[in-house]
């Protein structure tokens, strides 16, 4: 399971960074989303991987998994969701104003 | 528990939604309430400053959950000073925004402004690493809105770059926090400090990775080379008052470095040693050099000041990298000074821009209206940011140079002194292009509203600089005691009451 989770985080991160380097708004936004998925799985794994264990108090449980990382992931998901919405709106505004979806500065905007 | 500690977070957090919900159509009402909120923030920060300077660090346990299980805010002298600085700057910048009518050029300026203050104050007060991330996000999401306030092609395009860059920074912050959590099992700063200090050296490879990741995150915030690329475009394209407020946002990065790397990874930690200082110092010196060269070569007013801001961050991080009480104290003095100086210069640049046809420095334009006063303010701001006597920039640099005596001194002193010269030349060139060459056109200045309130705001920032210069002795003594408290670490850790049984 460790191999599976680790390679998933690695693949998501690699794909996200590749897309961000495309420097056009749509791939960049998708790349940022992939990066945030990768980091969410990574945070989850930082509390150690466990199968079938409850995170909160239970009379029958033999052990517990770390509940804190689940709370952290939840916060991170909410924030990254909001941030993605913001960048979509800003990017849309920029596209409508400038008529191009290139993010690197190729004109007077970056001088 | 002292409930005033959470007031700088709660006050703007309550005010901002009220402004959005009930005053969205009435700008006068927005201005009154937002200004009242900022003045109240100044009052609260004064109360906190007095309380922190007479008491040891004090923790505020949210929901009364004991640390490290709950989130804590910690008020120590450093946090109090930073909150007071933010409140003063926010008041002046807000007066400027109202005086020039910047807040009228788009929707929800005042609501976003209050959310921004909430994020900044929260980041200074929090005693929990994950909570620091949350407040970073609060201040960033508000800054995204403020950055594109007023719209326009260049601003929106820079806005996309700024948002994307900072989203990557946030992701990296999460990676760093998760890495730390996987090693130390806690995210409370005081608890982390104790556990990291007790960790045997053999087990700390991952911890060092996490520390470097954190340093990168804070370097992105503080515009340290090689993560400074977002700053010139963003600050040059942002509305003038917003860029001035952002002067304290880069300082949030510097504050986080001072806090985390003095508390959790001080140089005497067996696991990390002087590793971070060795990383930080060269980056800071290169930042300083690049900032100074940018000032010398800037083609527009906005980028001129933005590169000045980068250079000041370089100077600041040079002092921070010393990690001794003396250098931290000098860094704090320079931090206060450079925040005010950068903000004042951004506002002056905006005053010029509002009266001049082009932001291009080399383009010949007729003289601007109210030229004498604006030129004088530019002169004062440039002197302050370049670090020439008689203003506090000179004293700040003097303190930094004095604190960084020792090995490597030739390189540090050389870089700081040569870049100061470059900045003086750069600002002199810009000033003469803006204010002297304009008289060659023989055209009359176009009349412009006098904007009394805007000049009052810039004057207030300059008065702050003068006060910092006049009171340099007492201020640097107080900052010295803050630096001692930071180096000692135990008062901060003790305030979290980690060993006490649950109440």
pLDDT tens-digit readout, B225-261:
889 989 998 999 999 999 999 999 999 999 999 999 9
pLDDT given for residue B446 in this prediction: 79
- B113 with B34: CB under 8 angstroms? yes
pLDDT bracket for residue A50 (50, 70, 90): confident
Please answer yes or no on whether A103 and B160 come within 8 Å at the CB atom.
Answer: yes
Share of residues in chain A with pLDDT > 90 (%) = 60
pLDDT bracket for residue B357 (50, 70, 90): confident
DSSP tag of B445: P
Is residue B312's pLDDT more than 60? yes
Q: Is residue B502 part of a domain?
A: no
Please answer yes or no on whether A32 and B168 come within 8 Å at the CB atom.
Answer: yes
pLDDT given for residue A101 in this prediction: 84
Q: Ramachandran region of residue B425, left (φ > 0), alpha (ψ -120 to 50) or beta?
A: alpha
Q: Is residue B501 part of a domain?
A: no
Residues B459-499: tens digit of each pLDDT: 999 999 999 999 999 999 999 999 999 999 999 999 988 87
Q: Which residue has the higher pLDDT, B215 or B269?
A: B215
> Quick count: other Cβ atoms within 10 Å of Cβ B370?
18
With beta carbons under 8 A apart, name residues in chain A contacting B174.
39, 42-43, 76
CA B284 to CA B293: how far, in whole Å?
14
Q: Which residue has the higher pLDDT, B144 or B499?
A: B144
Looking up tokens 């000098």 gives: B330
Chain A residues bordering chain B (beta-carbon distance below 8 Å): 20, 25, 28, 32, 35-36, 38-39, 42-43, 45-48, 68-69, 72, 75-76, 79-80, 82-83, 86-87, 90-91, 93-94, 97-98, 103, 105, 108-111
With beta carbons under 8 A apart, name residues in chain B contacting A105.
157, 161, 233
For residue A42, give the nearest of B130, B159, B175 by CB distance.
B175
Q: Is residue B352 part of a domain?
A: yes
Ranges B124-133, B359-368, B398-407: which has the least confidence: B359-368
3-class SS of residue B407 = coil
- The ipTM assigned to this model is 0.93
Q: Is residue B164 part of a domain?
A: yes
- Residue A108: closest C-alpha in chain B: B154
Please answer yes or no on whether B153 and A42 come within 8 Å at the CB atom.
Answer: no
**CA of A60 vs chain B CAs: smallest distance (Å):** 24
pLDDT bracket for residue B500 (50, 70, 90): low
CA B152 to CA B459: how far, in whole Å?
29
Q: Is residue B503 part of a domain?
A: no
Report the 3 state secondary structure along A80-111. Answer: HHHHHHHHHHHHHHHHHHHCCCECCCCCHHHC
pLDDT given for residue A109 in this prediction: 43
**CA of A80 vs chain B CAs: smallest distance (Å):** 8
Please answer yes or no on whether B181 and A72 come within 8 Å at the CB atom.
Answer: yes
Element (H, E) at B72: strand B72-75
Which B residues, 117 through 136, put their C-beta within 8 Å of a C-beta on chain A?
130, 134
Domains, chain A, ordered by start: 2-50+63-106 (1.10.287.3510)
pLDDT given for residue A108 in this prediction: 47
Environment class of residue B106 by beta-carbon count within 10 Å: exposed (0-12), middle (13-18) or buried (19+)?
A: middle
Is residue A111's pLDDT more than 50? no
Crossing angle (nearest 10°) for helices B275-297 and B205-221:
20
- Residue A104: closest C-alpha in chain B: B161
- B301 with B434: CB under 8 angstroms? yes
3-class SS of residue B188 = strand
Q: Is residue B198 part of a domain?
A: yes
- What b/e readout covers A15-47, taking b as 16+ CB neighbours within 10 angstroms? bbeebbeeeebebbbbbbbbbbbbbbbbbbbbb
Please answer yes or no on whether B178 and A43 come within 8 Å at the CB atom.
Answer: yes
pLDDT given for residue B503 in this prediction: 46
Please answer yes or no on whether B157 and A83 come within 8 Å at the CB atom.
Answer: no
Q: How many domains is chain B built from?
A: 1
* Residue B428 structural domain: 3-495
């Amino acid at each position: 399971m460790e191999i599976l989770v680790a390679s998933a985080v690695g693949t998501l991160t690699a794909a996200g960074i590749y897309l961000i380097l495309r420097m056009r708004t749509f791939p960049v936004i998708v790349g940022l989303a992939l990066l945030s998925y990768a980091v969410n799985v990574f945070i989850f794994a930082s509390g150690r991987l466990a199968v079938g264990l409850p995170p909160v108090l239970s009379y029958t449980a033999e052990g517990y998994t770390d509940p804190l990382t689940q709370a952290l992931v939840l916060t991170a998901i909410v924030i990254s969701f909001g941030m993605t919405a913001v960048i979509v709106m800003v990017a849309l505004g920029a596209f409508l104003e400038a008529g191009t979806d290139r993010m690197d500065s190729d004109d007077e905007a970056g001088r | 528990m002292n409930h005033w500690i959470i007031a700088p977070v709660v006050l703007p957090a309550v005010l901002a939604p009220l402004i959005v919900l009930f005053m969205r159509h009435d700008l006068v009402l927005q201005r009154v309430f937002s200004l009242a909120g900022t003045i109240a923030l100044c009052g609260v920060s004064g109360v906190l400053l007095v309380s922190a300077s007479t008491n040891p660090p004090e923790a505020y346990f949210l929901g009364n959950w004991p640390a490290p299980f709950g989130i804590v805010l910690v008020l120590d002298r450093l946090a109090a000073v930073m909150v007071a600085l933010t409140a003063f700057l926010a008041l002046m910048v807000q007066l400027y925004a109202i005086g020039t009518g910047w807040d009228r050029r788009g929707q929800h300026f005042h609501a976003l402004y209050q959310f921004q203050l909430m994020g900044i104050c929260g980041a200074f007060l929090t005693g929990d690493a994950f909570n620091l991330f949350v407040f970073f996000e609060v201040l960033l999401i508000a800054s995204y809105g403020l950055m594109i306030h007023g719209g326009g092609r260049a601003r929106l395009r820079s806005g996309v770059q700024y948002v994307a860059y900072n989203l990557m920074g946030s992701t990296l912050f999460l990676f760093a926090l998760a890495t730390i959590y996987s090693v130390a099992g806690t995210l409370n700063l005081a608890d982390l400090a104790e556990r990291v200090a007790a960790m045997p050296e053999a087990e700390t490879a991952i911890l060092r990775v996490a520390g470097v990741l954190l340093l990168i995150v804070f370097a992105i915030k503080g515009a340290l080379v090689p993560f400074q690329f977002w700053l010139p475009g963003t600050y040059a394209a942002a509305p003038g008052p917003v860029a001035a407020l952002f002067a304290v946002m880069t300082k949030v990065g510097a504050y986080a470095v001072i806090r985390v790397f003095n508390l959790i990874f001080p140089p005497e930690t067996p696991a990390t040693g002087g590793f971070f200082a060795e990383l930080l110092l060269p980056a800071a010196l290169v930042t300083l050099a690049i900032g100074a060269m940018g000032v010398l070569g800037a083609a527009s007013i906005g980028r001129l000041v933005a590169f000045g801001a980068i250079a000041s961050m370089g100077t600041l991080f040079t002092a921070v990298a010393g990690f001794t009480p003396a250098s931290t104290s000098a860094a704090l003095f320079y931090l206060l000074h450079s925040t005010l100086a950068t903000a004042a210069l951004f506002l002056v640049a905006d005053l010029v821009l509002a009266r001049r046809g082009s932001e291009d420095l080399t383009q010949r334009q007729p003289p601007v209206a109210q030229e004498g006063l604006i030129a004088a303010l530019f002169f004062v701001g440039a002197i302050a940011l370049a670090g020439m006597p008689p203003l506090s920039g000179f004293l700040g640099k003097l303190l930094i140079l004095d604190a960084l005596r020792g090995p490597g001194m030739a390189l540090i002193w050389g870089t700081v002194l040569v870049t100061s010269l470059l900045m003086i030349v750069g600002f002199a060139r810009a000033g003469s292009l803006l204010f002297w060459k304009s008289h060659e056109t023989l055209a009359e200045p176009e009349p412009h509203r006098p904007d009394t309130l805007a000049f009052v705001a810039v004057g207030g920032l300059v008065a702050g600089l003068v006060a910092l210069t006049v009171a340099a002795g007492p201020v640097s003594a107080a900052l010295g005691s803050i630096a001692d408290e930071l180096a000692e670490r135990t008062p901060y850790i003790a305030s979290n009451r980690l060993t006490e049984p649950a109440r």
